[in-house]
Structure 1
Amino acid sequence: MIGMGPFSIQVVAALVAVLLAWVAARQAARWLPGGASSKAAGGLLFDAVFLGLVAARLGYIAQWWDEYAQSPMSMILIGDQGFTWWVGVLVAWVFIGWRTRSARILRRPVLMGMTAGLLAWFAAGGVLDLLQRSAPPLPALSLATIDGQPVVLDSYIGRPVVLNLWASWCPPCRREMPVLEQAQTLYPEAAIVMVNQGETGQQARAFLAGERLQFRDVLLDPSSQTMRAFASRGLPTTLFFDEHGRLVDTHLGELSLASLKHTMLRRFAQFQPIKTDKE
């Protein structure tokens, strides 16, 4: 499973972890001696989470500043899921310590809530990794090139594959296209495969020509069987496969250049991006 409704499974896991942290903080405030306010503990927990998310985003932008500087608007598009988690956790803990300097009775329940949320988040991450490792390999779906030539999807096994599911009517698909086009130059060892969902070859060609986009591998999937094969709930969806055809990462929603490079670094560290004139 890649997503639940319009949200990626990673986002859902993060929301569940925050909710668990809030519940744990309120319950700890009720149970611990001293009479701490459960409402105050829950409110402080949410304040710390919000500040931590902002700090995690800013930390990620700083880490990938050169990439975000090429497209400044992408800094506010948090759908790329670019966060440096340890920066956010550190800032949240410091904030809790500062806010409870004169109300120490709140510190323990809020920190307990934060710890419960982090444990749940890490556990969910481990489960998601296991699910990805057990996912079926790149399937033998019968698709066609944009010129109508038949091709089987698993014929790309043998090198890393970045499989992007898109449609011309999808605004975030359109916005991320230049990033994926650039990825062809940055990562020539990988196959950047653009699989159009539910449209005709004429529609796909007209869109790519109108946007002056050039991709080496554009496939047509008029019945959207690729979305069904991977239980994708929305577009765009980007799937990362290793050279053996195993699914190693997924991304539901718009990619930024930073988030693409980050995933390539984590999953295919042996392939360093080639320097371009834009960098």
Structure 2
Amino acid sequence: MLSISVGPLSLPTPVLLLLVSVALGLAVARLVGRDQTQSATDALLLILFGALFFGRIIFVLRFADSYHSLWQMLDVRDRGIDPGATVMAALVLSAVQFRRYAKLKKAMLSGVLSTALCFAIGSFWLHSQQQYQVLADITLQSVSGYPVALPDLAQGKPAVINIWASWCPPCHREMPHLLEAEQQHPDVRFMLINLQENRSTVQQYLRQHQLHFSHVLLDTRGDVATYYGAQGVPATLFFSADGTLSSAHFGEVSKAILQQGITKAKME
């Protein structure tokens, strides 16, 4: 499942998992350190935000060619974080904080371990579920009016599926990145799947914005979004050449996230 609906909001499952893990860690640290006059919360939050900040810096450096301005680098809405760098930074910051606040070491260690354990178990479960997800054998109508099955369209190549709608501002903002990526990666099959809009609306949108994608499909019943648990748009899914889901991104996709997903899909 790519996202979970919480009231009117749709949260990506990795983000929700991180929030739950951090909340658990803070609660455990507070419980263990309840006899201390000083709370371990501030120290733990510094570890968290410091590690995420360092992970973001490394991600931006890895995909520097995908950013054209400082604002794009600072815009964290794409959630581009380097996992390895984040873990390393968390370990270093934890060691520093443990030494700095020796009296809170037990509470901080309990919080860090609780957060890490919860996030690791949740991530393992999400990854195990992802391993069973493949390119769905669903037949859709192309914007030109002919039926096509998704696996037949992929033809054994890595594939990128983008679920979008014409009324969605983030979808509109990411369209140029998707079009550029399709032109730069002829060995990858791009499928732009419109969610529950009629053919004339989609055709008018594509003409108005001069978007010339090779494969635009109509999902009038929302079958693809339902199959993958995408509780909103946009959503972008990356598949390896064997049809296995390599990674997924819920929300507006940036050039850097696209490049990361395509590279990973090609390597698997």
Please, what TM-score do these two structures have when normalized by structure 2? Answer: 0.88
Whether 1:3 and 2:3 are equivalent positions in the alignment is: yes
- Per-residue displacement from partner, 1:95-124 (whole Å, max 9, x unpaired)? 444455553111332133213212222222
- Per-residue displacement from partner, 1:239-258 (whole Å, max 9, x unpaired)? 12222322222111111111
Tell me which residue corresponds to 2:49: 50
- Per-residue displacement from partner, 1:144-175 (whole Å, max 9, x unpaired)? 11111222223124211111100111111111
Q: 1:93, CA displacement in angstroms? A: 4.2
CA contact (8 A) 1:96 1:107 kept: no
Q: Structure 1 86/153 Cα, relative in aligned 2: closer, same or farther at 3 Å?
A: closer
Amino acid in the other structure paired with 1:186 = Q
CA contact (8 A) 1:97 1:107 kept: no
Q: Structure 1 89/133 Cα, relative in aligned 2: closer, same or farther at 3 Å?
A: closer
Match of 1:238 among 236, 239, 242: 236
CA contact (8 A) 1:55 1:91 kept: yes
Amino acid in the other structure paired with 2:152 = S
Question: Structure 1 CA distance, aligned partners of 2:100 and 2:138?
Answer: 63
Q: 1:53, CA displacement in angstroms? A: 1.8
* Mapping of residues 114-133 of structure 1, within 5 Å: 114-133=112-131
| Bigger mean CA offset, 176-185 vs 259-268 | 259-268
Q: 1:194, CA displacement in angstroms? A: 0.3
Tell me which residue corresponds to 1:276: none
Equivalences, count: 263
- Per-residue displacement from partner, 1:182-234 (whole Å, max 9, x unpaired)? 11122211100001111122221222222222211111122222212222101
Secondary structure, aligned partner of 2:230: coil
* Mapping of residues 101-250 of structure 1, within 5 Å: 101-135=99-133, 137-157=134-154, 158-250=156-248
CA contact (8 A) 2:98 2:108 kept: no
Q: Structure 1 201/73 Cα, relative in aligned 2: closer, same or farther at 3 Å?
A: farther
Consecutive unaligned residues in structure 2, runs of 5 or more:
none
Q: 1:71, CA displacement in angstroms? A: 5.1
Question: Structure 1 CA distance, aligned partners of 2:36 and 2:84?
Answer: 28
Q: 1:180, CA displacement in angstroms? A: 1.0
Q: Structure 1 10/66 Cα, relative in aligned 2: closer, same or farther at 3 Å?
A: same
Tell me which residue corresponds to 1:274: none
| Bigger mean CA offset, 150-159 vs 2-11 | 150-159
Question: Structure 2 CA distance, aligned partners of 1:28 and 1:207?
Answer: 57
CA contact (8 A) 1:164 1:239 kept: yes
Consecutive unaligned residues in structure 1, runs of 5 or more:
271-279
Please, what TM-score do these two structures have when normalized by structure 1? Answer: 0.85
Question: Structure 1 CA distance, aligned partners of 2:255 and 2:230?
Answer: 22
CA contact (8 A) 1:160 1:190 kept: yes
Question: Structure 1 CA distance, aligned partners of 2:205 and 2:71?
Answer: 23
- Per-residue displacement from partner, 1:21-45 (whole Å, max 9, x unpaired)? 2122223324xxxx434x6112321
- Per-residue displacement from partner, 1:72-101 (whole Å, max 9, x unpaired)? 443233232211233334434444444555
Q: What percent of counterpart residues are identical? A: 30
CA contact (8 A) 1:161 1:191 kept: yes
Q: 1:125, CA displacement in angstroms? A: 1.7
RMSD: 2.1
| Bigger mean CA offset, 176-185 vs 202-211 | 202-211
Question: Structure 2 CA distance, aligned partners of 1:138 and 1:89?
Answer: 31
| Bigger mean CA offset, 3-12 vs 259-268 | 259-268
CA contact (8 A) 2:143 2:202 kept: yes
Secondary structure, aligned partner of 2:80: coil
